[in-house]
Structure 1
Amino acid sequence: MLSRREWLNLTLGAGAALTFDRSVLHAQQPLITRAIPSSGEKIPVVGLGSSATFSQVARSEDVTGLREVLKAFTDQAGTVFDTAPSYGASEEVAGRIAGELGVTEKVFWATKVNVAGRGGGSADPAAAKAQIDASFAKLKKGKIDLIQVHNLGDVPTQLGLLKELKKAGRVRYIGVTSTNKSQYAELQTVMRNEPLDFIGVDYAIDNRDVEEAILPLAQQRKIGVLVYVPFGRTRLFTRVGDRQVPDWAKAFGAETWAQFFLKYLIAHPAVTCVTPATSRAKNVVDNLAGGRGQLPDDATRKKMAQYIEGLPSA
């Protein structure tokens, strides 16, 4: 098995001699797509997030690396870009770079709204509308693909605005997000009672709480699922350390740990798209490869989770 570094060096090389290398052939397989339950429209199962390191670089003066990230992402058939006003300059920088690259219309733009804050409270409708209008301006779009209420902030007010925008044809899909287990009971209530196209939740091979009730309910209610923090920020990479990906992972095409972690999530039928964040083009290539080729079956997914559980915690 190739290490993550070896696989990336081979995949990013331009020499013709690599044409028949197994890893390069793997990278050329088409991205798996999955249907958005409410419409049937298909999107790639691996997208790109813009929190964490992407957001940090977006705040800097030199965003050359992010230009390379978005170019690699769209060149390799990636479309779903997840962002939020709270991710610093991510929205504005991504919108500007996409325009410069001429890929604005190729991207499935997913952003958020929340002026109520994490602590709850009431959202000022005028402030929420202003935040949404700012997103349209930053992304340079007259219609945004998806806007979600971030962290379940004042859902009646803010989701109400999104319903109006969807009815007016300015937003194609709407939803809510939560990355806090203490909100999952509220999230389930909203899922049962509101016409959601998507939810966004944190989910990783060592963070499987959503498998208990959230993901089954999403399937039952025909709600799409965006997955955030699939590597636990960097927690999972720290946990596996310098270990090689186990040999048995080659049966489902996982050449690197990133692909191993992503394929576990993608193989769950409720998951529509996983959105790992990165500020490096080589990681984009690696992550997208996690959405190509075979996926593990249920028995293998159990084996994968048990393997990671057997390692020391990060």
Structure 2
Amino acid sequence: MPPTRPINADRRRLLAAALASAMGAPRRLAAAPSIHTRPIPASGERLPALGMGTWITFDVARGRSPVPSDALTTRWQVLQAFFTAGGRLIDSSPMYGSAEAVLGELLPQSPGAAALFSATKVWTPGQWMGEQQMARSLDLWGLPRFDLMQVHNLLDWDAHLPTLRRMKAEGQIRYLGITTSHGRRHDDLAALIRNEALDFVQLTYNLAHRAADTRLLPLAAEHGCAVIINRPFDGGDLFNRVRGHPLPGYAAEIGCTSWAQVFLKFVISHPAVTCAIPATSQPAHMRENMGALHGPLPDAALRRTMTEHFDRL
């Protein structure tokens, strides 16, 4: 749904002034140290193995008008932490309330945003409605084109995929894909991976939900699909599961200083995974998450140890 209050040039100038006052003048970002990256099979282009989701966390309007300035400043700080750490892929959707509009406000004020890999979704029935919604998203983000357009939760995919193929051929998007979440519709997604030429698929995978291990992840690798992982923290439930438990000894072996980094390294160490997209509204949590881009990743034996240990908690 569109934001309750559209963005305008005056609001953008006010935001820029507020951010400059709060954070000081934009600085040239230091080059990020070597980080884990993965190739997109369709092109060979490499992406950092961690991106950023915007579900809930960037929907700062939530029926409030005007949007609280402190909420916008905090999200700007989240973006700064993300880009400073070498992040590129940001994923959103028209389903996420004001998230796309907030990104459109903040990205022009964000040093490092030139590296952005923009990913959003079409989430409406019908070809014509889909075209209108995608044009609206492009306007909200303020971009000349999207890097990746995805059919959200397979909604009317047979109407939208021909449009996405045409848009890709015309250079309006660079990649196309399909998403699902919460482990739903795995059979349908498997059929689409087999039968449609998809650049990306997006699905749920984490230490608590590993069903994709047995079929979807191997199938995506076989058919040359890049894989984006949503809900790598299971919507925060993984933290509830480990509350009160110390970090396991193996965490130090793979350079993890927090449970968040353990959870993320488990996900991005899967050989079929291209990028995981944790979401946060806290700059400190973003910096902590992005730390998982550094240091050793678990091998197959340690991944088994991690799943066995988690299942016992």
TM-score by length of 1: 0.85
Q: Does 1:61 align with 2:68?
A: yes
Once the two structures are superposed, what CA deviation does each residue of 1:108-146 show, in whole Å capped at 9, x if it has no partner?
11100010xxxxxxx222111010001111111111100
Label 1:182 to 1:237 Cα distance change in 2 as closer, same or farther (>3 A).
closer
Report deviation, 1:159: 1.3
Report deviation, 1:56: 4.4
Structure 2 counterpart of 1:17 = none
Structure 1 counterpart of 2:28 = none
Label 1:243 to 1:208 Cα distance change in 2 as closer, same or farther (>3 A).
same
Structure 1 counterpart of 2:48 = 44
- Residue of 197, 200, 213 corresponding to 1:195: 197
Once the two structures are superposed, what CA deviation does each residue of 1:138-174 show, in whole Å capped at 9, x if it has no partner?
1111111001000001111111111111011010000
Report deviation, 1:205: 0.7
Using the alignment, how far apart are the partners of 2:290 and 2:61 within structure 1? 21
Structure 2 counterpart of 1:186 = 188
Using the alignment, how far apart are the partners of 1:281 and 1:30 within structure 2? 21
- What is the 5 A alignment of 1:8-19? none
**Pairs aligned (count):** 277
Using the alignment, how far apart are the partners of 2:165 and 2:231 within structure 1? 27
Q: Which has the higher contact order (CA 8 A, sep 6+)?
A: 1
Using the alignment, how far apart are the partners of 2:225 and 2:58 within structure 1? 27
**2:59/2:102 contact within 8 Å kept:** no
Structure 1 counterpart of 2:233 = 231
**1:29/1:293 contact within 8 Å kept:** no
Using the alignment, how far apart are the partners of 1:193 and 1:251 within structure 2? 41
Structure 2 counterpart of 1:273 = 275
Label 1:254 to 1:93 Cα distance change in 2 as closer, same or farther (>3 A).
same
**1:111/1:147 contact within 8 Å kept:** yes
Q: Report the AA paired with residue 79 of structure 2.
A: L
Structure 1 counterpart of 2:14 = none
**1:253/1:293 contact within 8 Å kept:** yes
Label 1:153 to 1:97 Cα distance change in 2 as closer, same or farther (>3 A).
same
- Residue of 145, 152, 155 corresponding to 2:154: 152
Label 1:100 to 1:156 Cα distance change in 2 as closer, same or farther (>3 A).
same
Q: Report the AA paired with residue 61 of structure 1.
A: P
Q: Report the AA paired with residue 68 of structure 2.
A: E
**1:230/1:276 contact within 8 Å kept:** yes
> Where does structure 1 differ by over 4 angstroms across 4 or more consecutive aligned residues?
56-60
Q: Report the AA paired with residue 253 of structure 1.
A: G
Q: Report the AA paired with residue 297 of structure 2.
A: L
RMSD: 1.4
**1:32/1:291 contact within 8 Å kept:** yes
Using the alignment, how far apart are the partners of 1:180 and 1:205 within structure 2? 13
Using the alignment, how far apart are the partners of 1:292 and 1:270 within structure 2? 19
**1:58/1:90 contact within 8 Å kept:** no
> Which stretch of structure 1 is more off in the superposition, 177-186 or 135-144?
177-186
> Which stretch of structure 1 is more off in the superposition, 260-269 or 99-108?
99-108
TM-score by length of 2: 0.85
Report deviation, 1:54: 3.1
Report deviation, 1:295: 0.2
Q: Does 1:79 align with 2:88?
A: yes
Report deviation, 1:182: 4.1
Equivalent residue of 2:285, what SS? Answer: helix
> Which stretch of structure 1 is more off in the superposition, 58-67 or 220-229?
58-67
Over the matched positions of the two proteins, sequence identity in percent amounts to 35
Label 1:196 to 1:92 Cα distance change in 2 as closer, same or farther (>3 A).
same
Using the alignment, how far apart are the partners of 1:242 and 1:29 within structure 2? 33
Q: Report the AA paired with residue 82 of structure 1.
A: D
Equivalent residue of 1:290, what SS? Answer: helix
- What is the 5 A alignment of 1:98-137? 98-115=107-124, 123-137=125-139
- What is the 5 A alignment of 1:14-25? none
Equivalent residue of 1:295, what SS? Answer: coil
Using the alignment, how far apart are the partners of 1:236 and 1:226 within structure 2? 19
> Which stretch of structure 1 is more off in the superposition, 161-170 or 59-68?
59-68
